A and B are shown apart, each in its own frame.
Chain A
């Protein structure tokens, strides 16, 4: 195979291709691999399975809520569903999917051979996967060795003292604590790897200010993980101490504090949502410029805004506690910090718009998802500003308005960016293009279903419907909105099915992609699709933020202007 790549020496042509292997050898290879690309793909694949499970849980809830006084699910089952849906989607779908992409892309984008700690990388994946399996085992073993099954039903934030053994019988809460604790260990391992790799293994010429923005955002995300995850892990250990070893941290009947659990949880919980959203912003930062045919507008400002978001996000947590009675002084502080974090976030939206301004927009499927992301993230941010206004939040908190807001961020923002990332990097990972036709069906169906569900979901919140209710009275004016929300959920289901069909069919019969199907500019497009196991046979040397632009446009390289 001739080396047709823009950077010579990328491929090692001295060795003959390996002979075909037995199926068992392939399985063994994947189970024992420490290659960041395979680990990344395993993260993504396992998160897709959990996405199907979490989505199924959502559909069951939506059927139950489609009309008032419905009896499709018992209160116990419904409460298990919303707890498992939230826990699954945050810890076993969103985080692994984002880390899967980070694992795959970061070494390639910085011209490195692999992550700094390949075995830690593999360990992090397998322990996180085990945590998910342990959590789901609760359906069988949740009430102990001789009891019946019972999944956790304390809500994904597991407020004390509902989690005390007095108030929730059986072991379901322990499965929640342990499953999430294990995944937290995996998360911290991955963060260690990402920070070390980014700081120590960049190729020649790639100063920090020449890294792709995706790598910057993942670096900052990893830093936030070090600060945000340990409080959650600590709180879960304290909860287990309370439950089994005679502790009273959160045991209000013995003088413990329910509020302290909330502080611990939300000091994790709020940075957590920025941990989820920053890599998604990173995808947009790579995809929007390519399909606008312009560099990102304001690279330095984007880095500065992200660092600002990283810091400020550690100071906003008690906006989840405005109704807890912390007092006017505390409420005021958190109002201010929450409003302040809207500023760098808004700046990012303006920079994306400015990137597209004056460009030549190509509405490929990844770009369609990014454009929808921009529109939807704008709305999500604005409803967030509404809830930063504490008195308004005193009405909106714990209602369906909040549920609509955070799904707008996570589905309308993060998941849309993830879909864009799938369509954009699938060719690099597999050597095949995804179907454009199926992609557009996926996009339009999902946009329709998303808006049907989550636009109208704001209304019951305004009309007084609280969250986490397994049913509701007739005559409150909530019925019609809930029915529309449920219909939208099923439209989204169809869209996801189209997506999965697209993924599977394209794997075997997609058009050959070539090395650089999108005419992009970062280093991953300088190697083959899929890359060889060593990524680059010789270390690339870069002189600007867009090394492939420089090679494709030798008369007008970036390094003359940066």
Chain B
């Protein structure tokens, strides 16, 4: 196959014509790959104080382990070459050396010293992250992990939302505004992991854990559940929107409103209220006060549904209500077996919940 095989594969990969590589396409692909790697959820691209602490420590650890690796594997390579049995070997056994206490001592003492250094560096960062005092103007969010979605409650503002966490950016200097998360689990264990913002902390059933993040730049940070929690563990995605204080305030005020009451979708609202939807979902200001599923009061302020899995558009939303399993097989929302007419009506209603 020679050189043509790899070229063909690359051409297929880049979608260009058979037998030809598009250099521009290759550059674009590699650039996209680089951007994704740097900006997606790379633990080595910290964007928040605890993530920075971890990053610095991990670089220190990597430096030490890299040195150890180079020295020991270098020695191994040397031994393999220098002491291999030659073709013209004289057939006699080499000197039978049983050991040496001094050598044993030296290569015990050096690892002990390395361990001491690593240990002290580690303890310092553990305390830096776990023993900080919560500042007065920290934002408090209660995170409740469900199978397979995230509930976010802001007790300071009286807001409840789901799956997309909005937090203010902290300029970190004299007046940091971190977000302290209280982690609870409604059913089984979960884990909150947004790599660029912090290390992960588990949500353990029947236990309260806490962690904090302090994003330094506005943007969207991706993460997902990191403790196997059942069928759709893979689709319990996290989207953290760090916003400027002004934008965040605006978002808070919008979330604090009661649900929009648009009379043109009264039929859809009636469909919602006479079906079992109200048993699982809450829409503030209506009879829907269920807590098993996400709060839908401001559903249309979210970019995604099904915990980050699909975009929040009319068609997808309708598809989700019709049959959640088709988008997220194993999600705990049942198909409500609505007819087409009711489905259109209730979707139109939900679309008004900005």
Contact = CB atoms under 8 A, between A and B. Distances in A.
Contact of A324 (B33, B131, B202): B202
| 4 tightest Cβ-Cβ pairs between the two chains A and B | A394-B199, A464-B41, A469-B234, A252-B205
Interface stretch (B79-87, B133-141, B315-323): B79-87
A339 B119 contact: yes
Contacts of A60: none
B199 to A, nearest CB: 2
Contact of A394 (B84, B201, B204): B201
8 contacts: A253-B205, A257-B206, A350-B107, A357-B79, A360-B85, A378-B72, A386-B65, A472-B234
A378 B74 CA distance: 12
A256 B231 contact: no
A258 interface: yes
B95 A358 contact: yes
Interface centre among A336, A390, A558, A561 (most CB of B within 10 A): A390
A74 B62 contact: no
A378 B76 CA distance: 10
A477 interface: yes
Contacts of B100: 297-298
Contacts of A471: 234
B73 A561 contact: no
Contacts of A556: 96
How extensive is the interface on chain A, given as a class? Answer: 35 or more
A469 B233 contact: yes
A480 interface: yes
Given A76-B330, A259-B207, A392-B61, A343 B111 contact: yes
Interface stretch (A155-163, A187-195, A414-422, A532-540): A155-163
A69 B80 CA distance: 45
Given A394-B199, A469-B234, A472-B234, A464 B223 contact: yes
Contacts of A346: 107, 111
Contact of B228 (A162, A363, A379, A463): A162
A375 B80 CA distance: 12
Given A324-B202, A328-B131, A392-B58, A297 B99 contact: yes
A258 B62 contact: no
Contacts of B130: 327-328, 331
A397 B226 contact: yes
Interface stretch (B184-192, B281-289, B343-351): B184-192
Contacts of A257: 206
B17 interface: no
B36 interface: yes
A21 B235 CA distance: 61
Interface stretch (B121-129, B245-253, B295-303): B121-129
Contacts of A375: 73, 76
Nearest to A78: B234
A298 B72 CA distance: 18
Contact of A464 (B118, B123, B193, B201): B193
A476 B200 CA distance: 18
Contacts of B61: 385-386, 389, 392
A476 B69 contact: no
B104 A301 contact: yes
Nearest to B57: A391
B85 to A, nearest CB: 4
Nearest to B86: A360
B144 interface: no
A144 interface: no
Contacts of B266: none
A167 B18 CA distance: 50
A218 B36 CA distance: 48
A388 B119 CA distance: 9
Interface string B230-241: 111110010000
A332 interface: yes
Interface in B101-122: 103-104, 107-108, 111-112, 115, 118-119, 121-122
B225 interface: yes
Given A79-B228, A162-B230, A299-B98, 10 more contacts: A161-B189, A257-B206, A298-B103, A323-B201, A356-B80, A360-B84, A391-B199, A463-B42, A466-B226, A562-B98
Interface string A372-414: 0011001100110110111111111111000000000000000
A255 B206 contact: yes
Interface string A465-508: 01111111101110010000000000000000000000000000
B98 A561 contact: yes
B216 to A, nearest CB: 18
A468 B228 contact: yes
Nearest to A398: B226
Interface in A288-333: 292-295, 297-301, 323-325, 327-328, 331-332
A480 B226 contact: no
A118 interface: no
Contact of A462 (B42, B112, B147, B230): B42
Given A162-B229, A480-B33, A392 B94 contact: no
Given A353-B79, A462-B42, A398 B85 contact: no
A356 B81 CA distance: 11
Given A462-B43, A475-B36, A297 B129 contact: no
How extensive is the interface on chain B, given as a class? Answer: 35 or more
Given A362-B85, A466-B225, A343 B115 contact: yes
A53 to B, nearest CB: 22
A361 to B, nearest CB: 5
B330 A378 contact: no
B53 interface: yes
Interface in A126-171: 155, 159, 161-162, 167-168
Given A297-B97, A353-B75, A395 B54 contact: yes
Nearest to A461: B43
A324 B183 CA distance: 11
A255 B206 CA distance: 7
A75 interface: yes
A213 B111 CA distance: 23
A509 B84 CA distance: 30
A340 interface: yes
Contacts of B37: 463, 477
A155 B230 CA distance: 10
Nearest to A363: B84
A284 B33 CA distance: 42
A193 B167 CA distance: 61
B209 interface: yes
Contacts of A155: 228
Contacts of A241: none
B231 A79 contact: yes
Contacts of B340: none
B163 interface: no
A298 B228 contact: no
Interface centre among B85, B95, B198 (most CB of A within 10 A): B85
Interface centre among B37, B79, B225 (most CB of A within 10 A): B79
Interface string B258-271: 00000000000000
B53 A464 contact: no
Nearest to A340: B115
Contact of A339 (B83, B115, B187, B205): B115
B124 to A, nearest CB: 9
B99 A301 contact: yes
Given A162-B189, A375-B73, A382 B65 contact: yes
A357 B193 CA distance: 46
A349 B68 CA distance: 12
A297 B187 contact: no
A259 B65 contact: no
